[in-house]
Amino acid sequence: MSSPTPNPVTGPLSPEFVPFDIDAIAAHSGHVVVFADANSGLPRAARRIDKLTRGAVSRAVASADFAALEQGGALTLNWPTGLQAARVQVVRLASRADRASLRKAGLSIGKALGKSPALICADATALPDMLQAVALRAYQYQAQKSDPKPDFGPVTVMLRDMDKAAKCADALALARAVHLTRDLVNAPANVLTTTSFATRISDMQALGLKVEILEEDDLHRLGLRAMLAVGQGSDSPSKLAILHWQGAQGAPLAIVGKGVMFDTGGVSIKPAVGMEEMTMDMGGAAVTVGLMQALAERKARANVVGLVGLVENMPDGRAQRPGDVVRSMKGDMIEVINTDAEGRMVLADVLWYAQDRFAPRAVIDLATLTGAIIIALGHDKAGVFSNNDALANAFLKAADHVGEGAWRMPLGAGYDKLITSRIADVKNSGGRPAGSITAAQFLQRFIKPDTPWVHLDIAGVALTKTDSAHAPKGASGWGVLALDALIRAEFEDG
């Protein structure tokens, strides 16, 4: 078995920054990017290319096709006369573009990148947002190819002000963290097991993270029986991985991720069609790990602990059955109605453990928890459930700031009757009505009074069949950007 390939050291994740050289543009082979806007004169790089191509750029900018583009859209001139370049991409971008337009420009560039070298003649004022979007869109998972080849050629960014290069470090570190999350979600379950994932997490100590892996004996001793019940039908041992970045004093923010490495549904087995995508049921854990890498790489002035419960849900003679009753770490007795409602049982114990051990100032969990959230919100927005309006609103603001879709969903005591058990304290499923809400209502039982908490149901956004806001189809890495933005705004010192 092999683990997913590491992020490349060249290409859009690690561009080379060079001083502006007007003469070097003509000699560049491959892909050249310039910026222009129909309502203003051509910037210097675009003027140079326009002269070399005998007015091709100015004609393109004056065209109806260019006028129809949104800010951030692009036209491509193939094999232009007067240049060595195979193509020139003319991106429509105003001189004082907003963040959304800069992101769109970056996505247009990233989508067009290929194996040939690219030169971005950066006249944009807010370079980090644009370059981050370039790197986010330029992604392809090739770790399981028999003959993997480099996805993208080297990217060079030409700057008038070289001081801008240093300002891109955090943005590109975040992009690397998103790529890590995508790599983990895309990895097949026979490659990324509970054990190999735990090993990969342990290796992150090199970044300055404090890492601890709790094994099954530890989980039995601590009483995480609900989590253990999910994994008892698998040969892969259940584990709890803890990653701590202590860049500040005080109580930490706890991020909890569901890490079901593969979900058959257990005895309540899923339909065969589409089951291969259940390798993504560890998406919450992948986002948590990606976020912790981002915090460590940028030396965040925050105290954050990430906890991921790693299990595999398999049908077996040892597997839990519908009708079983399991005691959680909290002490609540859970009646198992459906063994495919397993993620909430993992989270119940990990949430309680996180609060019991770390006494966090707030808790946020992420999970590919319910198909019901896809029915409610589709694949554009994650479901946001919370017991605290201030924290929920702060997260929604952060998600909007980075362009990741999220929508507040209701909670309420009236939904508790749907998960009331006749023989135990609570059922792990209330059936189809309000399925994502009753799942969140179940999790809320394991949040201590007065602890601010947000539950993110990412089942619809973690893996998509079409291009998403920042990514080609497949694993999106949704959540790393939004959580990092929330931590910067609400949980970082200074």
Which residues does the annotation mark as catalytic?
270, 344
CB 464 within 8 A of CB 379: yes
Handedness of CA 227, 342, 241, 250 (dihedral sign): negative
Beta partners for residue 447, in sequence order: none
CB 187 within 8 A of CB 493: no
* Beta strands, E only, 303-450: 303-313, 325-327, 333-335, 362-367, 382-386, 406-408, 426-427
Nearest to 288 by CA among 216, 363, 349: 363
Question: Any residues with CB less than 8 A from the CB of 23 and at least 6 apart, and which?
Answer: none
Beta partners for residue 92, in sequence order: 36
**Collapsed DSSP state (helix, strand, coil) of residue 287:** helix
54: alpha, beta or left? (left if phi > 0; alpha if psi -120 to 50): left
CB 426 within 8 A of CB 338: no
Distances from the Cα of 89 to the Cα of 33, 44, 46, 282, 385, angstroms: 5, 15, 10, 38, 42
Question: Using CA atoms, how far apart are residues 467 and 445, in angstroms rounded to an integer?
Answer: 36
> How many other β-carbons are positioned within 10 Å of the β-carbon of residue 148?
12
> How many other β-carbons are positioned within 10 Å of the β-carbon of residue 380?
14
Distances from the Cα of 100 to the Cα of 10, 93, 108, 178, 221, angstroms: 26, 11, 12, 19, 50
Nearest to 77 by CA among 69, 62, 88, 66: 88
Tokens representing 487 are 């931590």
Helix, strand and coil in the chain, % to nearest 5: 40, 20, 40
Q: Torsions phi, psi of 88, nearest 5?
A: -120, 125
